[in-house]
Amino acid sequence: MENNSEKPKRGRPRNQLADKIQYLYPELNTRRALLNHVHSIDAHQVLQEIADPAMKVWYERDGHGKTVILSEIGRLGDPEMMRAALRRVYDKKLSTAQAVSLLRAVRKQRRGVASLVKDVHRAIDHYAFELTPAEVAEALESVAGDYRRLAAATVKQARE
């Protein structure tokens, strides 16, 4: 039997992206700095697609705070979520600390459709003794209509 002295590494696995692109940014000394830079580039690319010039000027002002905000936005991954986050932080003129806190909460609470369906069922069960199934269906159709209109308006706004 062979005695292998190497133990499996413990903890969170290393991000392979940082290892692959380290040579592009030799001035960034740590993996964290490198990943922050990569994420801020992702957010900056999404920012370039936004038509609002005032918003671009606000984000492109020099300052460490904007870089931190952009790196947190870039971590969201989904371009639609990034656009919405950029707009939210800009509209509310949040401080860096407030923006980072909000964006981290959004990133950690991102859940899928299955989770939403479960929450809707839980809410319906709460009203089970007060409403008939037909009334629940009417309420759900009303909400679905609201979100269809919102989705259509969002698509229209994104095209402009």
Could you tell me the pLDDT band of residue 141, with boundaries at 50, 70 and 90?
very high
Q: Domain limits of the chain?
A: 16-109, 113-159
pTM: 0.56
Q: What is the pLDDT of residues 68-83, one digit of tens each?
A: 888 888 888 878 888 8
- In three state form, how does the secondary structure of the chain look? CCCCCCCCCCCCCCCHHHHHHHHHCCCCCCHHHHHHHHHHHHHHHHHHCCCCHHHHHHHHCCCHHHHHHHHHHHCCCCHHHHHHHHHHHHHHCCCHHHHHHHHHHHHHHCCCHHHHHHHHHHHHHHCCCCCCHHHHHHHHHHHHHHHHHHHHHHHHHHHC
